[in-house]
């Protein structure tokens, strides 16, 4: 027999809240269970499955998104804390069909194998460059250390980020 907590909707138990946020430049107002992570809101409620669930515990970086321009692990954030936030996921990077320079750099450098970590690597790489932590391969490796790649594509990931950092220096 199902437990009461499993059978009673969160909205009926006072465990749900309204949250208003922007996801990929689209304003959303939603009711979510207070225990829902931003990662589950993106994947389960909005169908934005480009943001991956690896560890669900803040240890792999697969779920990295930008919140108000800052890279964060979506699995560690409660969705209800996102009131008024601007969230960008991998699906929101391309501009009218044109890939973001970081997406293009990952293709140019062949910086993936299975691709599971890649959305998180790309979002984190964007954060790494915008923070000014892409001055050398060593610095990039240090500031990208929260993004794990089981396929071991680290050399090419670093090259892709260096490509974008060099282009933005010259811009």
Q: Residues interacting with ligand FES, by CB under 6 A?
A: 53-56, 58-63, 73, 75, 112-118, 149-151, 153
From the list 88, 32, 42, the residue with the least C-alpha distance to 65 is: 88
Provide the minimum distance between the beta carbon of 8 and ligand FES in the complex, in angstroms, as a whole number.
28
Q: Compute the radius of gyration of the chain from its Cα atoms.
A: 17
Q: How far is the CB of 39 from ligand FES (least distance, A)?
A: 6
Residue (61 or 101) nearer to ligand FES, CB: 61
**Nearest-approach distance from CB 14 to ligand FES, in angstroms:** 28
Written as six digits, the tokens of 94 are 């391309």
* CA quadruple 39, 54, 112, 128: dihedral sign: positive
What's the DSSP call for residue 24?
A: T
Pick between residue 8 and residue 151 the one whose CB is nearest to ligand FES.
151
Residue 70 or 114: which CB sits closer to ligand FES? 114
Q: How far is the CB of 54 from ligand FES (least distance, A)?
A: 4
Of 61 and 125, which CB lies nearer to ligand FES in the complex structure?
Answer: 61
CB 82 within 8 A of CB 26: no
Name the helix (H) or strand (E) containing 160.
Answer: helix 154-170
């Amino acid at each position: 027999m199902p437990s009461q907590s499993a059978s009673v909707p969160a909205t009926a138990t006072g465990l749900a809240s309204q949250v208003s946020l922007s996801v990929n430049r689209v304003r959303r107002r939603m009711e979510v269970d207070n225990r829902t992570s931003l990662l589950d809101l993106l994947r389960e409620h909005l169908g934005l499955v480009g943001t991956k669930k690896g560890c669900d515990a803040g240890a792999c970086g697969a779920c990295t998104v930008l919140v108000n321009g800052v890279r964060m692990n979506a699995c560690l954030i409660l969705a209800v804390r996102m009131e008024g936030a601007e969230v960008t996921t991998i699906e929101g990077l391309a501009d009218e069909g044109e890939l973001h320079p970081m997406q293009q750099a990952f293709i140019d450098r062949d910086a993936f194998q299975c691709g599971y970590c890649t959305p998180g690597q790309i979002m984190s790489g964007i954060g790494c460059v915008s923070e000014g932590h892409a001055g050398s391969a060593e610095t990039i490796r240090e500031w990208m250390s929260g993004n794990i790649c089981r396929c071991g594509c680290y050399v090419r990931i670093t090259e892709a980020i260096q490509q974008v950092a060099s282009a933005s220096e010259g811009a």
